[in-house]
Amino acid sequence: MIIRDKFKIALIPFSALVFGIFALILIIFFANSIQIFEKEGLAIYTTSRWLASEDPSLEFYGVLPAIYGSLYTSGIAILIALPLSVAYSVFVVDYAPRRIKEWLIIATDIMTGLPTIIYGIWGAFFLVPFVKKYLMEPLYENFSFIPLFSYPPSTGHSFLSGGILLGIMVTPFAAAIIREAYRTIPYTYREAVYALGATKYEATRVLIGYIKPAILAGLVLAFGRAIGETVAVSLVIGNTFNISPSLFAPGYTISSLIANQFGNAFIYEHMVSALFAAGLSLSFIGLAVNLLVFRMLRRWEHARS
């Protein structure tokens, strides 16, 4: 009893440290953002002008295009990750022969652990020209009247390239969660659906419905990875302040903006603070997404119990 209490007491500083660091991070971000909030107010988040000047009175920073780009590319990534990870999970669990199954799981695990710069370089040297030639150019030539395809694909660096690359990068994360959820569906539900005369396809559809909360959780994780990804995206997105509906237009993301600008930010009076505020917006987005999903899961769980 006494020993256990001692152990408990010994654990407290460690768990306190974890939360302490988290609090410290938020405090530093808030503290450093105050300067730009005092100067611009919320205009930092709601305007698109990015004006670095050695004269502090001319400086103005609006990161809306980067927020837009982050959401746009991460959205594309999720749209790609959803079908890929679900299809992968069903194939691995239901169809892949036992020996191939192991390899498929190992392969996706390796993909989650690959340094992101690897994806970035691959994306810049292979994916961008490939997507430009076989996707953007044909679509632009034939369907440029549709706003999504309306921007001339000059370099190939674009929201689409960023989104596809992110989709490839985050699919293994979503896939791992969805695969495990699909694999651990109680056998009795499989039997139940086949006992009703379902085909394999029909049974899969019903069982996918059963793991809907896990699919959502997998996608949230993927979204979090996508919106926080920095290096790889900055190599393929074009790093341009731009709000355009077109997939083929170049853009920026919050993370790539910070990575690109931080090196010279110290030259200017307000830019460092602007970048901290930009980073802070990522935490807000993350918080909002997590709250939203938490509520959805709670509702499902509540309905289920």
Contact residues toward other proteins (CB under 8 A) are 186, 188-199, 202, 206, 209-210, 212, 300, 303-305
Q: How far is the CB of 254 from other proteins (least distance, A)?
A: 36
Nearer to other proteins, 4 or 304 (CB): 304
Nearer to other proteins, 52 or 216 (CB): 216
Distance from C-alpha of 140 to C-alpha of 135, rounded to nearest angstrom: 8
| Residue bearing tokens 């690359």 | 165
Q: How far is the CB of 91 from other proteins (least distance, A)?
A: 16
Question: Are the C-beta atoms of 258 and 230 separated by less than 8 Å?
Answer: yes
Distance from C-alpha of 209 to C-alpha of 202, rounded to nearest angstrom: 11
Nearer to other proteins, 141 or 301 (CB): 301
> How many other C-beta atoms are found inside a 10 Å radius of the C-beta of residue 228?
16
Q: How far is the CB of 282 from other proteins (least distance, A)?
A: 33
Q: How far is the CB of 209 from other proteins (least distance, A)?
A: 6
Q: How far is the CB of 103 from other proteins (least distance, A)?
A: 19
Nearer to other proteins, 180 or 269 (CB): 180
Nearer to other proteins, 75 or 190 (CB): 190
Residues whose CB is less than 8 angstroms from the CB of residue 103 and which lie 6 or more positions away in sequence, other chains included: none
Q: How far is the CB of 81 from other proteins (least distance, A)?
A: 22
Nearer to other proteins, 215 or 236 (CB): 215
Residues whose CB is less than 8 angstroms from the CB of residue 222 and which lie 6 or more positions away in sequence, other chains included: 77, 78, 81, 85, 170, 171, 173, 174
Q: How far is the CB of 290 from other proteins (least distance, A)?
A: 22
Nearer to other proteins, 19 or 201 (CB): 201
